[in-house]
A = this chain, B = another copy of it.
């Protein structure tokens, strides 16, 4: 039975993060200000600064507090099908409203602020990547992939094109594009197989 103090503080923390997401959706991350979050949440600015060192850190935590569900990787025995399934879900969540624009802004902030980059990696990118790697490793262990299969490289070839298309080219991701990437990853693209 946790103490009442924690209960109250946790409630406030949660309220701040909820308000951050709300405001973030309304006006966008770039125009978001700690001042406005504090005002909307009915909270003193210090209460926010006590918990997070910067707007980016607050925003990161707020986003991470959402996407706990659905991270788990299926393992049906068919590694290709599992990858498709999981990546389809991931892009449906991260590349579409309401989360898509916020996640894009979060990565933008990470590129400007090393602290945020480090936290983002530790709390989201790396765990996510490790799940993919783990699933691939299981497949390799089961003999579905060659013994010298390069797990990290495969992970990069799976994720990279999607991030590139979503963030750099700024075109929406489709399940079809994911499938083509997966296909290419395993089959290669010639010349002359």
Contact = CB atoms under 8 A, between A and B. Distances in A.
Interface of A: 29-30, 79, 104-105, 107-113, 117, 121, 125, 129, 139, 144-146, 149-150, 153-154, 156-157, 159-165, 167-170, 177, 180-181, 184-193
10 contacts: A111-B111, A121-B169, A149-B189, A150-B189, A153-B161, A153-B189, A157-B160, A157-B181, A159-B160, A159-B161
Nearest to A161: B160
A112 B191 CA distance: 39
Nearest to A157: B161
A109 B170 CA distance: 14
Nearest to A159: B164
Q: Which are the 5 A-B pairs with shortest beta-carbon distances?
A: A188-B188, A108-B111, A160-B160, A160-B161, A160-B164
Contacts of A107: 108, 111, 167-168
Contacts of A159: 160-161, 164, 168
Given A29-B112, A108-B112, 6 more contacts: A30-B112, A105-B112, A153-B180, A156-B161, A157-B161, A186-B188
B163 A156 contact: no
Nearest to A180: B153
A185 B186 contact: no
B108 A145 contact: no
Contacts of A164: 156, 159-160, 163-164
Contacts of A30: 112-113
Contacts of A191: 79, 139, 144-146, 186
